[in-house]
A and B are shown apart, each in its own frame.
Chain A
Amino acid sequence: MSRLGPLHHARLQTVLAVCAVAAAVALPVVLLSVGRGVVSHEINALSTSGYQLVVSGPGEYGIVQAHSLARQIDAVPTVAAASPILSVAVDLSAPGGGPVPLLAEGVIPAAFTATLSPQESGLFPNPLPLGDPTDSAHFAGGSYSGPAIDDLLVSTPLASADGLTVGSTVRLALSSQTGNGTAFRITGTFGVPPSIFGSTAAFAGLLPLSDLQLLVGAATNGTSGVIDAANEVDVGLAGSATMSPAAVSTAQRTVQALVPYDTVSALSTEVSQLETADTILTGFYVALSSISLSIGLVFLTVVLLRRVEADRSLMAIRRAIGEPARSLAATWARDAVTMGAAGAVGGVIAGIVVVKILAADGPPTVAQIAGFAVFDPVVLGLLALSVVGLAALVSLAATRRALALPLAEVLRG
């Protein structure tokens, strides 16, 4: 028996209905796969980070006595490394070129390297070619009387954009000091990790903490002596403590006791917040998608109802012969489910293809985000099953219409 006969019978309507459902399904596929992919990427980045705690304080630079604080935190038993970081926007002037903005990050080289994640480690030279790995010689206990290193690492995008080469000399200065500044020798480059929510490192440079502090006036001031400022201190825990929420929490409390007026946050908290955000966003995507799914299913319903009208004499003869209502319902459910399933599969494929195209040929940011997409077979399967279930449900409208046909009138023609 030709089971799909009615579908062949109205091919154009069938194709249009399948396309409508496919378009309706493609939207949630894109939203869910990209949205969840981005969040998963960030959660993964946080979970595999080389540090678990971040100390930050209020004010322009936040942390004071950064070298001293790092040593105190280092002394906490479960802590492997504490890396103070000072981030300041400065101007970089290469010979023969105008100033370009640079996000300068002052670090203690050894501590910075110790708090890199495995993924990040591959992006930086090891050891960092920034002279004294502990930055203690130049810092000299807060006197800044040691020899300055004046070495600089620049990101590969910056080096590429401005023709900076290892061994060349550039000048760094605060924007207000353009024309003066300090000469730095470029001793290497570093790669840029993919990031969406974090600050971009594309136009960043790394230099010794004490060098940057002196350059931007974060080493001392005229009234209160040494301030030894940083914006934050990244704290990496040792061994199994990194994986233990209890150990992280204990270390967080211990470090907090050292800096009662600053904030000590755990990345695990951020992961938890991101997971919550992911749940909320998924709900939002589903709500948004329900609009497109509703439109697709309304279209499917209209097509089914039109088909009842087109086939009204056939419906009438089947009823006249005595075919039970459940048999008619099965006919329409089969049609609706076939179209719904075809649309769902088509929509999933279309959604995946759209994301792949965006990842390959979209604008850089879009391509990067699309590249994080995760096609979870369970989510996509549930989406397709929902559509098929709803299609079966809307077939009831067609069945109802078919059962309401006035037999005598229809058969008389």
Chain B
Amino acid sequence: MSSPPLVHVAGASREFPAGKVRALDSVELSFGRGEFLSIEGPSGCGKTTLLNLIGLLDRPTAGRIEWAGADTTGWREGERARRRLEGVGFIFQRFFLLPTMTARENVEMPLRARGRPTAERRARALELLEEVGLTSRADAYPHQLSGGEEQRVAIARSLANQPPLLLADEPTGELDIAHAGEVMDLLQRAHTIHGATVVVVTHNPDVAARARRHLTIRDGRLVRDTAQE
């Protein structure tokens, strides 16, 4: 008997009450461990909505999301938060580092939320910062970092709990080409070395080119799902 996919999106739709906008329409999708996917499409087509549903940040108005074969529909917010903490690393276009914490403290945050001992989380944070090349910036606050550095800290934070799934929403959207390349290298590395499943929402063809599987969305519908040989 084969193991269930890491995530199964089963006919999921998402409507927003204001104006009854259907952002996502009956999307059917599955992916397993170790995949590297890109979600592409024009602005407002529903890419981020799909990512939010996969990452349990939002709930579908129809259909369901399954995680490792378990239907997430009935999970309460506390359960969803716990699953996110253990199972997903988020990387956002605008980084979303906490401004009152240093780079190291930002990376420690998911570990602290899991109740890890101080020494362990400090060591793990420094290890991850070293991995993204920011050991020397560990005590810097976000406003003292460049955009590329902030996103590297965000990637380190997303890896802190060694989640099986990394969800990146336009991770290079606010970076120049050089920094964008560095960030994608790190995601590639997380995929290769840590074995994480990576799902990247992007407009950028160079970013999309890193993926092995390409999903295209238009008007809320999944119109193409191609795997790269």
Contact = CB atoms under 8 A, between A and B. Distances in A.
A411 B94 CA distance: 9
Contacts of B110: 321-322
Contact of B90 (A5, A8, A320, A324): A320
Nearest to B82: A322
Contacts of B84: 320-322
Contacts of A411: 52, 57, 92, 96
Interface residues of B, number: 28
A323 B81 contact: yes
Interface stretch (B5-13, B97-105, B219-227): B97-105
Contacts of B85: 321-324
Given A2-B100, A2-B101, A411-B57, A321 B113 contact: yes
Contact of A317 (B83, B88, B98): B98
A1 B48 CA distance: 32
A318 interface: yes
A200 interface: no
Nearest to B141: A2
Contacts of A322: 81-86, 88, 110, 113
B77 interface: yes
A277 interface: no
Nearest to B110: A321
Nearest to B88: A322
Interface in A309-344: 313-314, 316-325, 327
Contacts of A321: 84-85, 90, 109-110, 113, 157
B19 interface: no
A413 interface: yes
A403 interface: yes
Interface residues of A, number: 25
B205 interface: no
A408 interface: yes
Given A321-B90, A324-B113, A408-B52, A1 B101 contact: yes
B19 to A, nearest CB: 14
B9 to A, nearest CB: 15
Nearest to A314: B98
A323 B81 CA distance: 7
Nearest to A413: B94
B58 interface: yes
B78 interface: yes
Given A408-B49, A411-B92, A412-B48, A9 B100 contact: yes
B78 A324 contact: yes
Contacts of A324: 78, 81-82, 85, 113
Q: Choose among A6, A9, A411 the residue with the greatest number of B CB atoms under 10 Å from its CB.
A: A411
6 contacts: A5-B100, A314-B99, A317-B96, A320-B55, A324-B78, A327-B113
